[in-house]
Amino acid sequence: MVNQSDLPFRILVRQYDASLVYTQMLLPERLLNDTEYLEFHRRGLHDTPDAPVVVQLCGNDPEVVVRAARTVVDKADAIDLNLGCPQDAAGEGHYGGYLLEKKDWPLVESIVSALSHSLPVPVSTKIRLCQNTALTSDLGVRLEAAGSSWITLHARHVSARRRRQGAADLEQVRVLKETVGVPVVSNGNVRTWEDVQANRKMTGADGVMVGETLLANPCLFANVTPDPVKISLEYLEVCREHPGTATMQTIQTHVRHFVDHHCSRRSWFNKFRAALGRCDTIDAIEKLLRVKVQRWRGLPPLSDGDIDDLEEGTTDEDGGGPEARDVIARYGENAASSGDVDEALAGLSILS
C-alpha cells in the first residue's frame, strides 16, 4: 500500500465500514531527518476523520524506531511494526519481512519491547510466514511476550519477486490464533465480502485485514459494489476537504484503481488512463470523470445531483446489515488497553 493509504482514502473506507485503518509504512530515518517528509505525514494524521488510525513503522534499530514513533505518536491510536514488507528496499535495508529469520528474533523482540515500554499507545506487529512455516507461531509467542498487543499475519512467505506467492495459507492463521493470547488479524485471500466471512470462519481470527482489494472497492466492508465514477467523485471531494494530504500522483492512482476495477477491459480504458495522467488538478480529474468517462460508458454527463446513489449493484440483504459489518467478533480479555483501538477491534476491518 505504498503511497496509497493517504488520509482521504482512509476517511473514504472508514465511511464504508472499515473500523480501523493504517497509514502506509513510514521510514524512521526520514521522519527524523527529513522535515518535509515528517510534516507531510503528520498533516495526514488528523484527530477525528479517520480515527482510530494506526501508524505503521519499519526499521531495525530499537532506539531509532522509538525516536521516530515519538514524532507521530501524539496523532496515533497505535503504532505498528511492519515485519512483512517483501520489497527489495526492505531486503537491502534489512527491515520488514527480512527480519523474520530466527537469528533476527532477539532484535525484533527488542524493538517491540522498546516501543511498548516507551509509548502511551498500544504496539502491534504485522508479520508474514517464517521461511520455516512451523516457526511462525513460535515467533508470535515471542512477539506477545515482548509487548505486541495484537498480531496480524499475512499468511504468505516473503518474496520480492512474487508478492502473493499463490494463495495465503490461512491454516497458519488458525494455528497462530490457537497459540497466542492476544488478538490475531488474518490477512490474505479476500476479494469479496463473502471472502471476509469465510476467512474468519476458517481461521477464528479476531479480524480481517484487507489491502489491495480495497483499492479497487473501498466499499467492500459495507458489502456494496460502487459505481466507479461516483466513488471516484466522492474520493475527490474528500481530497478537497483535506488539501495537502495526498499527492496528485496518489489521487490519480486511486481513481485509476476505482475505474480499472469495472472498466479495464473496455475499449476506451487506455484512452482514459492517458487522459488521467495528463490531469494536473482535482478539477481536471472531476471533469474527465463527469463528462468523458460518462460518454465513453454510453451515459449522460453527471451533475452534482446525480451522485447520491453510489451503488452500482445491489447489497446482499443477508450480508450487509450491522451484524455483517462487525468483522471482528470481540476483543479478548488479553486485548490492549487503548479505548479507541479497543472499540475499533470490537468490529474490525482494516486497511493496510
- The residue count of the chain comes to 352
Q: Give start-end residues of each CATH 3.20.20.70 domain in the chain.
A: 7-217+321-351
pLDDT level of residue 320 (50, 70, 90 thresholds): very low
Catalytic residue among 58, 85, 219, 239: 85
Q: What is the DSSP string of 138-199?
A: HHHHHHHHHT-S-EEEE-S---SS-SS-SS--HHHHHHHHHH-SS-EEEES--SSHHHHHHH
pLDDT, tens digit (0-9, with 9 covering 90-100), for 164-208 = 557 899 999 999 999 999 999 999 999 999 999 999 999 999 999
CA torsion sign for 265, 270, 275, 276 is positive
- The mean of the pLDDT values for the chain is 88
pLDDT, tens digit (0-9, with 9 covering 90-100), for 47-67 = 778 889 999 999 999 999 999
Give the global pTM: 0.87
Give the CATH class of 7-217+321-351: alpha beta
Q: Is 46 annotated among the ligand-binding residues?
A: no
Q: Cis peptide leading into 52, omega within 30 of 0?
A: yes
**In the predicted structure, residue 307 carries a pLDDT above the cut 70:** no
Residue 313: the pLDDT is 40
CA torsion sign for 98, 126, 196, 233 is negative
pLDDT, tens digit (0-9, with 9 covering 90-100), for 247-302 = 999 999 999 999 998 899 999 999 999 999 999 999 999 999 999 999 999 999 99
CA dist 169 and 187 (Å) reads 10
Q: Is 56 annotated among the ligand-binding residues?
A: yes
Residue 160: the pLDDT is 46
> What percent of the chain clears pLDDT 70, i.e. is strictly above it?
85
- Catalytic: 85? yes
